[in-house]
Amino acid sequence: MAKFLNSSGTTYHLEELIKNASDRLIIISPYLKLNERIKELLEDRNRLKIDIRIVYGKNDLHPEEINWLKNLTFIRTSFCKNLHAKCYLNENECIITSLNLYEFSQVNNNEMGVLIYRNEDAKLYADTYEEAQRIIRISDEVRMSLEKVTESDSSVDNKATASNTTVSHNTNTTVKPAAETATPNYSKLTTAKLAKELGFKTQELNDKLLAAGYVQEQEGELTLTDAGRAAGGTSKKGKFGEFCLWDSGMVI
């Protein structure tokens, strides 16, 4: 059954949740000013190649957060406007709480939370995980960079200055010709990785796949259609449900 957490309990179980993640970790928090302990735990999970998704809602990351995040290969970050939810999940547990992943909040504030065990409250865990996935789907995946990106009519110039460092949101929606796209070291890509290869946001590519009839929405999930299979898509089942894989050279 679910367990109530006070301030210290929330901080303790959040660390344990991150430390015990062996397959997947989802972090949803408006603020991302990370203390050294959380960074250490996330770096350890990254070394073990755990799939980590971080969704944040305040577009004011400091350079130290940007530098740190961009060097972690298995952490993907997404920006979700109007985000106020705070939720942390691994494959076995989740915490719904008032606690931001923000250093001041963990030290000074009075917090509450609820710890949910998947093996004891399967339906509650599943509902929480489904909502977390919905938030991920409506979020824009972000490429962390200290470069300031400006667009002109004919080109995109990357400029970095010491006095004006910003998070670069990859919003270029032009499909890259095959010759300009780096050849990946895998033949099948997830939708998120295919979107990155094609220069789309994940949600934009999902919309195009829906419009093309390659996927269909069923109970809040996007599932592969016969047309999608004919186009080279395949579906796989993981611990967290069905997901689609696409040919790396696919053009939408």
User: Tens digits of per-residue pLDDT, 13-60?
Assistant: 999 999 999 999 999 999 888 888 999 999 999 999 999 999 999 866
Domain assignment present for residue 173? The answer is no
pTM: 0.59
User: Quick one: tokens of 46?
Assistant: 């990254």
Other C-beta atoms lying within 10 Å of the C-beta of residue 152:
7
- Kindly tell me if the per-residue pLDDT of 168 is higher than 80: no
pLDDT of residue 6: 95
Cβ–Cβ contacts within 10 Å for residue 24, how many?
17
Q: Are 128 and 188 in the same domain?
A: no
pLDDT of residue 252: 66
Would you say 148 and 159 are in contact if contact means Cβ atoms under 8 Å apart?
yes
DSSP class of residue 30? S
- The total number of structural domains in the chain stands at 2
The domain of 217 spans 178-247
Please report, for the domain that includes residue 115, its CATH number.
3.30.870.10
The neighbouring-strand residues paired with 141 are 78
Give the contacts of 142 (CB within 8 A, at least 6 positions apart): 77, 78, 79, 167, 168, 169, 170
Residue 60 and residue 8 share a domain: yes
d(CA 191, CA 148): 26
154 occurs within a structural domain: no
Please check whether residues 126 and 197 belong to one and the same domain.
no
In a domain, 10, yes or no: yes
> What's the CA gap between 199 and 207, in Å, rounded?
14
Mean pLDDT of 83-107: 89
Same domain, 214 and 130: no
**Interval 142-163 mean pLDDT:** 43
Q: What is the pLDDT of residue 178?
A: 35
How would DSSP label each residue in 115-160?
EEETTT-HHHHHHHHHHHHHHHHTSEEE---SPEEEE-SS-EEEE-
Q: Give yes or no: residues 65 and 10 share one domain.
A: yes
pLDDT digits (tens, 9 = 90+) for 63-79: 777 888 888 989 999 99
3-state secondary structure 71-91: CCCCEEEEECCCCCCCEEEEC
Nearest to 5 by CA among 96, 77, 71: 96
Which among 142, 160, 188 is the end of a domain? 142
Q: Is residue 170 part of a domain?
A: no
Higher pLDDT, 224 or 105: 224
Residue 134 pLDDT > 50: yes
Type of residue at 168:
S
Say whether both 138 and 183 belong to one domain.
no
The confidence band for 180, taking pLDDT boundaries of 50, 70 and 90, is very low
Please check the confidence at residue 99 and state whether its pLDDT lies above 80: yes
Beta bridge partners, 4, equal 114
Instruction: State residue 64's pLDDT score.
Output: 76
